[in-house]
Amino acid sequence: MAGSFGSVNTAASALRYHQAVMEVASGNIANVTTEGYARRRVVGVSVGAPAQPAMWSRYDGHGDGVRVGSVDRLVDPLLDSRTRREHGAQASLDTRATALARVEASLGEPAGAGISKALAAVRSAWHDLGNNPDSGAVRAQVLSTSQGLVTAVAAQRHNVETEESDQRISLLSGIGEANTLAGDLASTNQAITAARLSGNDASSLLDQRDTMALRLAELTGGTAVENGHGGLDVTVGGVALVAGGTAGALSVTAGIHADGTADGLPLALAVTPPGGTATGVSGLAGEIGGSAVLISTTLPALRAGLQDVAQQLADAVNAVHQSGYDASGAPGQAFFAVDPSAPGGPLVLLVDDPAEVAASGIGGGANRDGSNATALASALASPERGYQQFVTTLGNDVASIRRLAATQQNLTDQVDGSRDQLSGVSIDEETVTMMQAQRAYEAAARVMTTLDSVLDTLINRTGLVR
């Protein structure tokens, strides 16, 4: 629009635009600590000549100012996708590392009151009995320390079983949270579609969408892809969990009862897509994937390893004990048994009478020989080595998963840093933006004042003769 009145409109457009810039910068600063908030930027569009209505029409103005073209969220979809992937991998490794560290700490090795200390006490008691085979007190000490060893093995198995129980509860809780998030994300997808159709700003809804998708990735390692309506479709294990405005469900089909107890079957997970049937999934990442690996593989292997140690111990002691003779000269009986289902198992002490301890290597009647007790002390060397191997293997596994988690953390931090540089709010930068907008606003206001003076001269003073 040409002329002085057109210049007023141009100045007014500048006032409106720079006011919007200051409002958006102020909103960024207000949300500097808001989780999931992506900073906004006002995109200005120059208002130029109108479209020519006819072949010979001409525009004799010089531009009509500026307008707000859009308010954009500063995000990178590719970087967001990478962030979700790295967070899913990190959550899985952290879950496994934390659980294994708890199991390792519960062993009480090497300086705690664990199985090694109990084995040393049993070996010392057998040596003492070899030196004092006719002492009832020493025989009782052998049984007492052996029961202590049984208790130590049972405590270690209980610790592993407790961790298994905790992981089952954690997995069920994670699945419940994932299904809730899937439903919320589907509702948010619907709201984003409605907002875009009505022309409303969907930036806050998009922030919520990205936050929920990131948490879903941390839980399941799911992959989120933006659909054509601004929402995110999420697949878990290759099966759709969220499709547009509808959500499916992740569930446990075997391995865990609803109350968190084991049902004796291998763990199995399934995803029921929207409007579909349950499809088995495996190889998940995230917290649920980490718990699934622990429940299915890692913790059962530790339980089996402890049972192997108990079996080695029972076999070594029984072989020597049954070749000796008790206080009455009768052949020795089995000293230990292995029964995983027994209360206080898997190692069970079978001898409860000190007189039945086969300390002698000579039969035919009571005697003061203690050679079999000394042989029993020596026989504990093999089970001790087996237990040391078990502890070493666990230690190596813990160290390995910690290294993997630390390496993954470096990648995750790097991606998070890149994302924060783009989407995070910098108070210094926003302050500079506000100051620039303020100066521009003041300049536009000055233009308006000048034009007011020009118009006043044009209207009220033109033609006056002094």
Domain-by-domain residue ranges, the chain?
4-74+426-461, 80-103+174-284, 112-159+297-402
* Average pLDDT of the segment spanning 251-266: 94
Return the pLDDT at 464: 64
What residues contact residue 346 under an 8 Å CB cut-off, 6+ apart?
A: 153, 154, 157, 306, 307, 310, 338, 339, 340
% of the chain at pLDDT higher than 90: 78
* Residue 440 tokens, joined: 């521009």
For the beta carbon of residue 392, count every other beta carbon within 10 angstroms.
Answer: 11
* Average pLDDT of the segment spanning 311-326: 95
As beta bridge partners, residue 448 has: none
The Cα 69–Cα 437 span in angstroms is 16
The Cα 353–Cα 367 span in angstroms is 18
% of the chain at pLDDT higher than 70: 94
Return the pLDDT at 55: 61
The Cα 101–Cα 384 span in angstroms is 22
As beta bridge partners, residue 116 has: none
* Residue 303 tokens, joined: 């339980």
Return the pLDDT at 63: 64
Of 189-193, 382-386, 459-463, which gets the smallest average pLDDT? Answer: 459-463
Q: Which helix (H) or strand (E) holds 43?
A: strand 40-46
The answer to whether the beta carbons of residues 390 and 119 sit under 8 Å apart is no
Q: Which helix (H) or strand (E) holds 20?
A: helix 4-30
What would the pLDDT profile of 104-136 be if each residue is shown by its tens digit?
A: 998 888 767 789 999 999 999 999 999 999 899
Cα 424 from chain centre: 22
